[in-house]
């Protein structure tokens, strides 16, 4: 899967599955939300730095996205790991970066009709501090 496909997937799919690696090297799939602003994909940890997928990323472990509906990872993580995936790199986005307000607006647009508490979590200062820009793997 080419990176352009990842951008389209993260833009058009409500829930994507990010695959990170546990300390023992075992992959783990987590269903998350994603946003694309001006053709650039972003993800946030709604639970801030307490999310284990976020901690895996900060530890420098490999990251990929599953090619398909990431909501599968909510009910069957093992099945999500059987789907094709593409490796990516995640770059932290500072909370004061002006793009953060556009990411907020995209969350409100894309996830309109979702649980208000989920949207609020994604717009919290804690989540904003845990925003990544998705880039091609190096």
pLDDT per residue as tens digits for the range 112-124: 999 999 999 999 9
Q: Which residue has the tokens 């352009």?
A: 4
Whether residue 57 lies inside any domain: the answer is yes
Whether residue 138 lies inside any domain: the answer is no
pLDDT per residue as tens digits for the range 2-51: 889 999 999 999 999 999 999 999 999 999 999 999 999 999 999 999 99
pLDDT per residue as tens digits for the range 51-107: 999 999 999 999 999 998 899 999 999 999 999 999 999 999 999 999 999 999 999
Whether residue 9 lies inside any domain: the answer is yes
40: three-class secondary structure by DSSP:
strand
Q: What is the pLDDT of residue 47?
A: 93
The CATH number given to whatever domain includes residue 63 is 2.30.110.10
Q: What is the pLDDT of residue 89?
A: 97
Q: What is the pLDDT of residue 37?
A: 98
Q: Does 1 have pLDDT greater than 80?
A: no
- The stretch 121-129 carries a mean pLDDT of 97
pLDDT confidence band for 138 (50 / 70 / 90):
confident
55: three-class secondary structure by DSSP:
helix
Range of the domain at 111: 3-133
Number of structural domains found in the chain: 1
**pTM (predicted TM-score):** 0.95
Distances (CA, A) of 21 to 9, 123, 137: 21, 26, 15
């Amino acid at each position: 899967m080419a990176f352009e496909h990842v951008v389209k997937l993260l833009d058009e799919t409500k829930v994507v599955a990010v695959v990170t690696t546990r300390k023992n090297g075992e992959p783990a799939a987590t269903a998350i939300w994603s946003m694309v602003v001006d053709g650039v994909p972003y993800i946030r940890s709604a639970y801030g730095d307490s999310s284990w997928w976020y901690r895996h990323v900060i530890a420098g472990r490999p990251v990929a996205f599953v090619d398909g509906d990431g909501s599968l990872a909510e009910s069957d993580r093992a099945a999500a790991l059987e789907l094709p995936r593409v490796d990516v790199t995640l770059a932290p986005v500072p909370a004061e970066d002006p793009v953060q307000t556009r990411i907020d607006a995209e969350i409100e647009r894309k996830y309109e009709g979702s649980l208000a508490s989920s949207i609020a979590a994604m717009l919290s200062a804690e989540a904003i501090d845990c925003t990544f820009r998705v880039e091609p793997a190096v």
